[in-house]
Amino acid sequence: MAHIRKRGKTYSYAIDIGQDPLTGKRKQTTKGGFIRKKDAEAAARKVELLLDENRYIELSKETFSDYIKEWFENHYQNRIKQTSASNSRYIIEKHLLLENSFAHKEIAKITTGDIDVFYNLKLKENYSTSYIRKMHQLLNQAFSQAVKWKKIAFNPITDADPPAVRYKEMAI
């Protein structure tokens, strides 16, 4: 059950979302800034509905760079060959951590637009389309795992448009 209260000129809600598994203390989610009480009640009902259907996700505040390192070390590299892991590590360190505009953004706030801008930047830097596709595959696997781990609500890579692979004619 949501608790609605007036704070100054706006309304806010607070809803119990369960218990912290480590401390046993109750966890709440709050949101404020609603002009009308009805707006706060409607927003609270949406959260309660998600809780009832067990689809509520508390979005992670973890940055992309922290997440991708953790995902690579603790999940991805254990499931692939050693040579593939070293190639993937290079792509992650050079392109996804150093030369990336969303590297220090929270993973829950990364949009499909951010991803498309990243692909266009790599095209302007004259990387091959097949190499950009490898970056796309790594990003897709990382974000898909973040969805499974309930860190984010959806995978922004699914709607992104990586460049089509272009093959160059070989001169013989």
Answer yes or no: are the C-beta atoms of 153 and 59 closer than 8 Å: yes
Q: What are phi and psi of 13, to 5 degrees?
A: -125, 155
Same domain, 20 and 90: no
84 lies in the same domain as 124: yes
Q: Please, which pLDDT band fits residue 140 given cuts at 50, 70 and 90? A: very high
pLDDT digits (tens, 9 = 90+) for 75-105: 888 888 888 888 889 988 988 888 788 889 9
pLDDT digits (tens, 9 = 90+) for 44-59: 888 888 777 777 777 7
What's residue 136's pLDDT?
93
58, part of any domain: no
Tell me the whole-structure pTM to 2 decimals.
0.72
Q: What count of Cα atoms within 13 Å lies in the side-chain half-sphere of residue 8?
A: 5
My answer on whether 78 and 134 are in the same domain is: yes
pLDDT confidence of residue 52: 79
Is 171 domain-assigned?
no
User: What pLDDT, on the 0 to 100 scale, is given for residue 60?
Assistant: 76
| 46/71 same-domain check | no
Residue 22: which domain range?
3-52
